[in-house]
């Protein structure tokens, strides 16, 4: 039996984390997944089965919480790498800014301290495009040189990602003692879901398919398939040149919600019968938002164009993401297959 390296993956039952686990198991690594409660381990196994994993002999679990330092040292023990994905997402029960920022920042520091103590070689942090492209307006695509400027236009989620990523770089510089860090900054994450827990971007596609979104707000953003996000994490963990670098995960040029809807209508026939076919004028949404809290949440993003470049990941690491259209259809087909569209 050859000596396999062990990778700690935090927030194991999340959308990106579960695909990172699949990539690691498929590449011959042992994985220790952290969960806030070990009761979720059966759910995670079901998700991994859905993703094609048939043997769990290289998978173990550890209980750890971003709000509590106590479980992390034990979790990191015996690990050569850490992929730190766990962080409050826009769909948690977080409501105030502190609900996002405190667990995100403290969690990063708990994990880095535990990793350093365990002698981990490299940590890969899942940050977000939220730490790159907010608080500023750019006509050219955002790159890894850009950082979100924390002003009052930036939402708590993006703030938490920016503050926690900066804290990680600072820790490595001042206390990292030679431990390596690499960071992945995904844009909107699409792709085949493994359970009914999925990313914010998939919510949009679900609302289009089930008829909740009657017309498309004018928003343009970058997207990437979750399988390619996991592949970029794997490359960021294993390739020497990824040390000390951050990488934006985006498939290509930005897609508007209307273009996303058009992909669905063009390819899914009758299944896309409820998908909207027109764009709503921004002034109208702002007017309707006065009476509709769901629309109100969207208004700050209206007219926003956030394009990002994947040049660094593709040239430095040879990363090849699948086209956005493919990611959109994989998302829709998985929602339909899992009976999440009535």
Residue 65's alpha-carbon distances to 69, 292, 298, in angstroms, are: 7, 35, 30
Catalytic residue, from 32, 105, 159, 161: name it.
161
Res 305: pLDDT: 83
Distance CA 10, CA 67 (A): 13
Segment 266-304, tens digit of pLDDT: 999 999 999 999 998 888 888 988 888 777 777 777 878
pLDDT at 214 over 60: yes
Res 297: pLDDT: 72
Segment 138-158, tens digit of pLDDT: 889 999 999 999 998 888 889
Segment 216-242, tens digit of pLDDT: 988 899 999 999 999 999 999 999 999
Q: What angle do CA 228, 16, 271 make, to 5 degrees?
A: 75
Res 1: pLDDT: 45
Res 318: pLDDT: 98
The structure tokens listed for 117 are: 């103590």
Check if 49 is active-site.
no
Q: Going by DSSP bridges, is the β-strand pair 180-186/246-249 parallel, antiparallel, or unpaired?
A: parallel
- For all residues of the chain together, what is the average pLDDT? 93
Contacts of 16 (CB under 8 A, 6+ apart): 85, 126, 186, 189, 199, 226, 229, 230, 233
91 confidence band (pLDDT: 50, 70, 90)? low
256 confidence band (pLDDT: 50, 70, 90)? very high
Residue 216: exposure state from Cβ atoms within 10 A (0-12, 13-18, ≥19): buried
Res 83: pLDDT: 98
Res 87: pLDDT: 86
The mean per-residue pLDDT over the stretch 99-111 comes to 93
pLDDT at 42 over 70: yes
> Side by side, which strands form the sheet with 30-35?
59-63, 30-35, 6-9, 81-84, 122-126, 180-186, 246-249
The structure tokens listed for 299 are: 């208004």
Which range is least confidently modeled, 83-92, 221-230, 252-261? 83-92
Contacts of 213 (CB under 8 A, 6+ apart): 204, 207, 257, 276
Beta bridge partners of 163: none
This prediction has a pTM of 0.95
The structure tokens listed for 302 are: 């209206």
The structure tokens listed for 46 are: 């079901």
The mean per-residue pLDDT over the stretch 168-193 comes to 96
Map out the domains of the chain with their CATH numbers: 6-192+224-250+309-321 (3.40.50.720)
């Amino acid at each position: 039996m050859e000596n396999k390296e062990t990778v700690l993956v935090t927030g194991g039952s999340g959308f990106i984390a579960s695909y990172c686990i699949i990539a690691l198991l498929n590449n011959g690594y042992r994985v220790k997944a952290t969960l806030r409660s070990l009761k979720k381990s059966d759910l995670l196994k079901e998700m991994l089965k859905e993703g094609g994993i048939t043997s769990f002999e290289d998978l173990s679990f550890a209980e750890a919480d971003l709000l509590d330092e106590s479980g992390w040292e034990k979790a990191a023990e015996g690990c050569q790498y850490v992929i730190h994905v766990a962080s409050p997402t826009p769909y948690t029960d977080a409501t105030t800014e502190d609900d996002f920022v405190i667990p995100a920042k403290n969690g990063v520091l708990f994990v880095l301290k535990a990793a350093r103590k365990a002698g981990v070689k490299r940590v890969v942090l899942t940050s977000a495009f939220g730490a790159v492209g907010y608080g500023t307006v750019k006509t050219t695509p955002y790159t890894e040189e850009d950082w979100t400027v924390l002003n009052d236009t930036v939402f708590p989620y993006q703030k938490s990602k920016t503050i926690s990523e900066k804290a990680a770089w600072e820790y490595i510089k001042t206390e990292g003692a030679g431990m390596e860090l690499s960071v992945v900054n995904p844009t909107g994450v699409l792709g085949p879901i493994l359970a009914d827990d999925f990313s914010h971007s998939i919510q949009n596609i679900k609302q289009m398919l089930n008829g909740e979104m009657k017309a498309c707000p004018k928003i343009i953003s970058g997207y990437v398939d979750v399988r390619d996000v996991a592949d970029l994490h794997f490359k960021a963990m294993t390739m020497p040149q990824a040390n000390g670098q951050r990488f934006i995960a985006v498939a290509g040029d930005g897609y508007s919600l209307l273009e996303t809807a058009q992909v669905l209508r063009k390819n899914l026939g009758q299944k896309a019968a409820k998908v909207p076919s027109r764009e709503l004028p921004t002034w109208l949404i702002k007017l309707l938002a006065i009476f509709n809290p769901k629309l109100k949440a969207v208004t700050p993003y209206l007219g926003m164009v956030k394009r990002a470049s994947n040049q660094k990941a593709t040239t430095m690491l040879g990363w090849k993401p699948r086209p956005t259209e493919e990611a959109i259809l994989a998302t829709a087909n998985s929602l339909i297959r899992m009976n999440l569209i009535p």
